[in-house]
Structure 1
C-alpha cells in the first residue's frame, strides 16, 4: 500500500492538551500499577518492599507495556487519550502494528531516561530533589516538541508515529 503524499500531514494536537492527557494517564496508571503490585506481592509472597523489588519493577514494566500496546493497537487510544480526544497512528494515519506500538513504548522512556541519568550521575537523593529533577526533565522533553517537525514528541519522530485529534462521532438522533 503506498502512502498518499498529496494529503497534508495532520498537525499535532496542542502541547497543553497532550500534557493534560499525560497527567490523566498518570492517574489511570496509578490504579494499574497498584493492582499489578498487589498481584505481584500476592503471587511471590513478598513480605516487604525491598524483597524482590527488581522483579516487581520488571513485572510492572511488562504490565504497563501490555496496557499501552494493547490500547494503541486496538483503536489507538488509551483511556486518557480517549477522554482528551487524542489518537496515535503511524505517519500514514494507519493504526499501529504491535511492533510499532512496542517500539513507541520503549522509545517513550526518553521522557524519563535523561533525568534518571542526571540523578544517577550526580548522586541526587531525597524525594524532593529526585522528583524535581524528573519533572524538569519531562518539561524539557515536552518543550523540545516545539522544535521538532509537526511539533511531535521525540519518541513519535523516532517511531514514525503521530498523535492526531480524534473527535467523537456525533450520532444523529432523529426521533420519529
Structure 2
C-alpha cells in the first residue's frame, strides 16, 4: 500500500492524541525495561538504584524514539494517527537529528519537573498538576507558532506531516 503525504500540518489535537497513545505504549516498554533492570541489578527495593534506573530508562526511551524516527519516521502511535516526522526539506531524519529531537522533546516535561524539585513537592496531586500545567503551556506555545510547530521541532529542524494511506484500487 502506498502512502499519500499532505503538505498540511496535522492538528494539535491529532498530535496530542498520538502523544497520549504513545504514553500508553511506552508504559509497556518502561515496565519491561524496569523489570529487566531490576533483575540484572538484583534490585530488592524500589528506591535502591533509582537514579541508575532513571538513566537506564532515559537510554531505553532514546533508543526507541531515535530508531523509529530515523527508520521510517514513525513510532507505532504515529502510524496509528498517520503522522510522520521529517526534516524541514521533508526528508527522513538522520540518527543525529532524531537524537537531537529526542533530547529537545524533554522540554515537554523539564520545566514542570524542575518546578516540582525546586518547590520540594511530594504530593502526587501537586506533581501531576505541575506536569499538566507544563504540558498545557507547551501546547500553548505551539499555538502561538505560525506553523503550529512544537518548540522541540523548531529547535531540531523537524516537522510532523500527515501521511494518510492511499486508497487501494479495487479488482
What's the TM-score bracket when you normalise by the shorter of the two chains?
A: over 0.9
Residue 98 (structure 2) aligns with: 101
Residue 66 (structure 1) aligns with: 63
SS at match of 1:149: coil
Q: Deviations over 1:133-167 (max 9, x none)?
A: 00110011012101113110000000000000011
Residue 140 (structure 1) aligns with: 137
**Separation in structure 1 between the aligned mates of residue 111 and residue 46 of structure 2, nearest angstrom:** 26
8 Å contact 1:36–1:60 — kept in the other structure?
A: yes
Structure 2: 5+ residue stretches without partners? 1-5
| Structure 1 residue 100 displacement after superposition | 0.0
Residue 54 (structure 2) aligns with: 57
Aligned match of 1:126 in 117, 123, 126? 123
**Separation in structure 2 between the aligned mates of residue 32 and residue 68 of structure 1, nearest angstrom:** 12
Deviation >6 Å, runs of 4+: none
| Structure 1 residue 34 displacement after superposition | 0.2
| Structure 1 residue 12 displacement after superposition | 2.1
Aligned residues: CA RMSD:
1.2
**Separation in structure 2 between the aligned mates of residue 37 and residue 118 of structure 1, nearest angstrom:** 26
Higher relative contact order (CA 8 A, sep 6+): 2
**Separation in structure 2 between the aligned mates of residue 44 and residue 173 of structure 1, nearest angstrom:** 55
**Separation in structure 2 between the aligned mates of residue 90 and residue 143 of structure 1, nearest angstrom:** 23
Moved more, 156-165 or 145-154: 145-154
Aligned match of 1:13 in 10, 14, 21? 10
| Structure 1 residue 120 displacement after superposition | 1.6
**Separation in structure 1 between the aligned mates of residue 8 and residue 147 of structure 2, nearest angstrom:** 6
**Separation in structure 2 between the aligned mates of residue 76 and residue 144 of structure 1, nearest angstrom:** 24
Residue 4 (structure 1) aligns with: none
Residue 20 (structure 2) aligns with: 23
Aligned length: 166
Q: Deviations over 1:85-128 (max 9, x none)?
A: 10000000000000000000000010001111111222222101
